[in-house]
Structure 1
């Protein structure tokens, strides 16, 4: 082969590369998560990344950053809205800050169980996505947490035991109000700093589902877990809206399908993880308290729930009414 023919082949190859469609390059999406790899939510986002790769034939890669590597829940949510992070499962102390009406979905003693939550998620999905879209965010699905209970230096046998408890809460008005309504002293602390706050006595209790209490080891400085079961709640599977819209339709569908499958996968983990977590916590020498009179807890929060929604406005009240209509 002559030098001239080799040069022609190289030139032809370069021409083909120059006109290759831009979409042929792999799209990389950054996902931030506050939970550890062993938590059900951490497991879920890793499964999501695998599903997206499979459904797009590796055209889309989701890079997963676990265990608050990219910051607190609030910081991750702010980065998602700004567009420096593409995806983030996030609750009220994170993405919920941008969507006040959605806070009513996390009110205490609102859901009977996980199955009820799943039915509500389907019912309110259009309402939630409309709220998010109005501020440049796409909600592609849900993850689940709950029921939240207390890791506490003090056993909580009944409602009266909550009085004066320095309760760590997420940086959210809902949780601050919840603590006050139960007679506790709300102590907002960012998620990565909770263990040290319990260890040093800044807070003497923290709340979360059993799997969270186990993976964070919050039970270690408290030596007691009281099953108040006060909140089931969603984590919105949020995505930067511009980033979602920039993807071709087939990749958008792949993300939505992967999120739906991830939701089912994580819901399947939830109850088993909580059961196992309580067994492991007990085996670690921690006292498990079956809190009595949970109806009294719920009754103490009726006025709080109603007032919270009313303060947010008609949109929040309508959303809460829709939740309550789901059997």
Structure 2
């Protein structure tokens, strides 16, 4: 080898060593993220933050585009699109995943009156139990990049204020397309009507349903206060979103791209939880300012709801997996003991 060629090779080696790790492994990519909520909801804001982080760290090569308001379909259809590889990302309620064979344990998160606080939920979902759930996704064509908070769900309606458990009876309430939600409200005496989220506002406006149940942040961001008169702070179910990517898309990525997206997703998850909790803290007052009557159940009435929904929890523990439920409960007990 002549001296010029030798020094030329040494120069190239030196440049490679000085380059940022994996820089050559970042390719031009386009990622479509579909959500059912509006772009200004904390969920949409967190996707925007994720897009910003990904763009910065890929030098603009990886572009993340948000499609909000159900433009790409509802949660069920978008999860199916991820599995088929025609859409890259979505953030469905975890209850949506229960309908996919082998993912029933995700339903345990939604058992009525399971959590006492958001911090308990964070500890459970970020710990061994949550990671066990995420590990089930790849064989179903999905990659889990984090659990995002939707929050404690509240009931709104147009017929009457809810001050006691019996006031729920007879209400036509839109619920998530999930048997646990349907059975929970049937048990409480409501007429539970499953419906995709993008259809809810119109159904409330036209009187197809009397009300719905969602966290306060969703009630504000989706402007349900325009078509609802009453809201009760019931905290009946804690709701979680899964930040998902298509495995078909994931498998095309280089290891450096996977690492970049994973790190950005971790930061976006922390951002989303912080943002939605801040939003939720002000949502109650905003709803009141829009003329919605807000009631809060007494401890006695909450205990009554908890007792009424016990058979629902017992039924779905068997359906979702008794062993998984025992693992979850053991983790929760450890979390609670550590706080005391």
Same fold (TM over 0.5): yes
| Equivalent of 1:321 in 329, 333, 339 | 329
| Equivalent of 1:262 in 262, 265, 268 | 268
Whether the 8 Å CA contact 1:78–1:95 is kept in 2: the answer is no
- Cα offset for 1:152? 0.9
| TM-score normalised to structure 1 length | 0.88
Whether the 8 Å CA contact 1:101–1:315 is kept in 2: the answer is no
| TM-score normalised to structure 2 length | 0.85
| Equivalent of 1:110 in 109, 114, 118 | 114
Query: Match of 1:161?
Result: 167
- Cα offset for 1:125? 3.0
> C-alpha separation between the residues in 1 aligned to 2:173 and 2:327?
28
- Cα offset for 1:187? 0.8
Whether the 8 Å CA contact 1:33–1:89 is kept in 2: the answer is yes
* Bigger Cα displacement from structure 2, 216-225 vs 167-176: 216-225
Is 1:77–2:87 an aligned residue pair? no
C-alpha spacing 1:315/1:56, structure 2 compared with 1 (3 Å): farther
> C-alpha separation between the residues in 2 aligned to 1:322 and 1:203?
39
- Structure 1 unaligned blocks of 5 or more: 1-20
> C-alpha separation between the residues in 2 aligned to 1:73 and 1:93?
10
> C-alpha separation between the residues in 1 aligned to 2:331 and 2:111?
11
Query: Match of 2:306?
Result: 298
- Structure 2 unaligned blocks of 5 or more: 1-22
> C-alpha separation between the residues in 2 aligned to 1:200 and 1:81?
35
> C-alpha separation between the residues in 2 aligned to 1:29 and 1:96?
25
| Equivalent of 1:121 in 121, 125, 141 | 125
Whether the 8 Å CA contact 1:111–1:232 is kept in 2: the answer is yes
Whether the 8 Å CA contact 2:97–2:106 is kept in 1: the answer is no
> C-alpha separation between the residues in 2 aligned to 1:132 and 1:255?
17
Whether the 8 Å CA contact 2:50–2:268 is kept in 1: the answer is yes
> C-alpha separation between the residues in 2 aligned to 1:322 and 1:181?
27
Whether the 8 Å CA contact 2:82–2:141 is kept in 1: the answer is no
Is 1:146–2:148 an aligned residue pair? no
C-alpha spacing 1:277/1:111, structure 2 compared with 1 (3 Å): same
SS at the partner of 1:145? strand
C-alpha spacing 1:61/1:167, structure 2 compared with 1 (3 Å): same
- Cα offset for 1:271? 2.2
> C-alpha separation between the residues in 2 aligned to 1:216 and 1:49?
22
- 1:212-246 deviations in Å (ceiling 9; x for gaps): 01111222222111111112221011111121122
Query: Match of 2:65?
Result: 63
For the aligned residues, what is the CA RMSD?
Answer: 1.9
Whether the 8 Å CA contact 1:31–1:64 is kept in 2: the answer is yes
> C-alpha separation between the residues in 2 aligned to 1:52 and 1:176?
38
- 1:258-287 deviations in Å (ceiling 9; x for gaps): 111111111111222112222111111111
Whether the 8 Å CA contact 1:76–1:94 is kept in 2: the answer is no
SS at the partner of 2:236? strand
